Structure 1
Amino acid sequence: MPEPATTELSPVRLQELLLEHPALDGFLTALACDLAGHLAEWDVSDAAITVVRPRRQTVHAGSGPGVSAHGQSAADPASGVLTIGLPVPLAGAGGAVLTVYSEHPGAFGPEAVQAVERAAAETATAVALALRLDAQTHRAENLQAALESRTVVDLAAGIIMAQNNCSQQSAVDILRSVSNSRNVKVRDIAAGVVAVVSDRVSTHFEE
C-alpha cells in the first residue's frame, strides 16, 4: 500500500485552470484530468466531476474514455468506483460530486479514500468559484437576450404604429394576437415584422 499522498493540488494551478477554461464544462474536464493524474499513485485511472445546478442542466465532465457522458464507468463497476461529495455550497437544491475509477478491484482502501477526500476538499473552492462565474455569465446572457428581445418588440411596435396610425399599446396587442393565433413567440413575430421592413428599405436603396 502506498504512503498517503503529500503533494497538494496547487492553488496556483487551480487558478490557471480557471483562467484557461472560462466555460464551466471545460474547467471541470481539465480539473478531472488533473485529479486523475494527482491520484494516479492510488491506482486511479479516471476521474469525473458532476454538478447538479438548480433549475439548470446537470454538468458532467470526465478525464478520459473510461468515463461515459452519464457519469458511469465504462468498465465493470466491480473494477473500482469511489464517489465522494464535494463540499461546494450551492444555493437551493443541487451539489457536486467527485467520482474516481480504478481498473484494480479493491483499490480504494482507507488511505486511498482519505487521499480522494483531501483532493475533493482542496478543489472545492475552485469549483465553487467556477460555479459562481458560470451563474454570473448565465444571468448576463439572459439579460442581454431580454434587452435584445425588448428592442425588437419596440421596433416592431413602432412599425405597426406607423402603418396603422395606432397607439403603442394597440400595436403591442396586435403582436400578441398574432403570436397567440400562430403559437409563436412575440419576439419572433416582431423579428419577422422588422425583417420585412428592413428588406423593403434595403431594396429601395439598392434601386
Structure 2
Amino acid sequence: MSEEYPAQEPQGPPLDATELTLQQLVLESQDIRVFLTELAVLASSRLSSAGNTIHSGVTVLRNKRPQAVAASDAAARALDELQNGFGQGPCLTALHQRTTLLVPDLAAETRWSPYVRTAAQHGVSSILAVPLDLAGDAEAVLNLYSGRSNGFSGEDIVAVETFAAQAASSLRLIIRISQLSEARNDLTAAMQSRTVIDMAVGAIMAQNRCDRDTAFSILTRASSTRNVKLREVAATVITSISGEDRITAHFDE
C-alpha cells in the first residue's frame, strides 16, 4: 500500500550545496522550463545510486490540466505523460492533495490500477511524489521513479522534501521574474504600436489637411475594411511615405 506523509517543514540539516546550486540555476536559466529541467536532472543525480537509477519529472497544473513540462530523461517524461494520460496516479494525487506520497511497491498497490499496472510494465517498482509549494503562483509536483521496490528510504524522503522546499522558493522567484519580464515586454509592444499609429495619424493629417480625429477615423476605417490590424495599416502608411520597410520606435530603458 502507498503511504502518505502530511506536509511539514523539512527536518534535515540545510543542504547548503543544493541551495547554492538552485540559486545558480535561477541566475542561469533563461525561462521556467529550462529551470525545471535542470531541477529534474539535479534531483535525479542527487538520489541515484549504484543499482538504483532515479528518474525525475515535473508536472505543472495549467488550466486545471496536468502537463509534463520537464524531466531528467526520456523515461521520466514518458512516465509523467503516461500518468497524465490516465488522469490518475500517485503524482497527480500528491499534486491535488498537496501532500508527499510514497508508493514503496507498485506490486502491492491497489489504487490507480490502470496506471499502476502500466507503469509496472515500464519497469517502475516504486514512486515518490513531492508537491512544490509555489504560494498560489502555480501548482507543481516533483515526480521520482525507481525500478526497485522500496527504492526510497526515509532519509530520501526527508532529503527530497528539503530539496523541494528550496526548489519551490527558487521557482517562485523565477516565476515572478518571468511575470515582470512579460509585463515589461507587453508594455514595450503597446508603446511601439501606439507610436507607429501616432506617426501614421500625423502623416494622414499632413496629406489630407485634416484634424487628428478625422485622420484617426480614416486609419480605423481602412483597418476595418481590409480586416487588418490597426498597427499594420499604420505601418503600411508610414512605409508608403518614408520607404522604410521596418518601422521601429526607441524608448529609454
TM range (shorter): 0.7 to 0.9
Q: Supply the AA of the counterpart residue of 1:131.
A: I
Matched, 1:17 2:25: yes
Query: Are the equivalent residues in 2 in contact too, given 1:48–1:100 (CA < 8 A)?
Result: yes
Which runs of no fewer than 5 residues in structure 2 stay unpaired?
1-11, 84-117, 246-253
| C-alpha distance in 1 between matches for 2:78 and 2:209 | 56
Q: CA deviation at 1:83?
A: 3.0
Which runs of no fewer than 5 residues in structure 1 stay unpaired?
202-207
Q: CA deviation at 1:137?
A: 0.7
Moved more, 99-108 or 171-180: 99-108
Q: CA deviation at 1:69?
A: 8.1
Q: Supply the AA of the counterpart residue of 1:77.
A: A
Identity %: 34
The equivalent position to 1:198 in structure 2, one of 239, 242, 249, is 242
SS class of match (2:191): helix
Match of 1:189 in 2: 233
Match of 2:189 in 1: 145
| C-alpha distance in 2 between matches for 1:148 and 1:59 | 35
TM-score norm. by structure 1 comes to 0.77
Match of 2:131 in 1: 85
Q: CA deviation at 1:125?
A: 0.7
Q: Supply the AA of the counterpart residue of 1:148.
A: Q
Query: Are the equivalent residues in 1 in contact too, given 2:37–2:71 (CA < 8 A)?
Result: yes
Q: Deviation per CA, 1:152-200: give whole Å up to 9, x if none.
A: 1111111111111122122222222222222221111112212222218
Moved more, 65-74 or 179-188: 65-74
Query: Are the equivalent residues in 2 in contact too, given 1:44–1:100 (CA < 8 A)?
Result: no
| C-alpha distance in 2 between matches for 1:70 and 1:146 | 42
Q: CA deviation at 1:131?
A: 0.6
| C-alpha distance in 2 between matches for 1:149 and 1:69 | 43
Query: Are the equivalent residues in 1 in contact too, given 2:44–2:55 (CA < 8 A)?
Result: yes
Higher RCO by CA contacts (8 Å cutoff, separation 6 or greater) = 2
Runs of 4+, deviation exceeding 6 Å: none
Moved more, 81-90 or 123-132: 81-90
Q: Supply the AA of the counterpart residue of 1:30.
A: E
Q: CA deviation at 1:148?
A: 0.6
| C-alpha distance in 2 between matches for 1:122 and 1:61 | 18
Matched, 1:104 2:113: no
Over aligned residues, Cα RMSD in angstroms? 3.1
TM-score norm. by structure 2 comes to 0.64
Query: Are the equivalent residues in 2 in contact too, given 1:61–1:69 (CA < 8 A)?
Result: no
| C-alpha distance in 1 between matches for 2:213 and 2:40 | 54
Match of 2:177 in 1: 133
Match of 2:198 in 1: 154
Query: Are the equivalent residues in 1 in contact too, given 2:219–2:234 (CA < 8 A)?
Result: yes
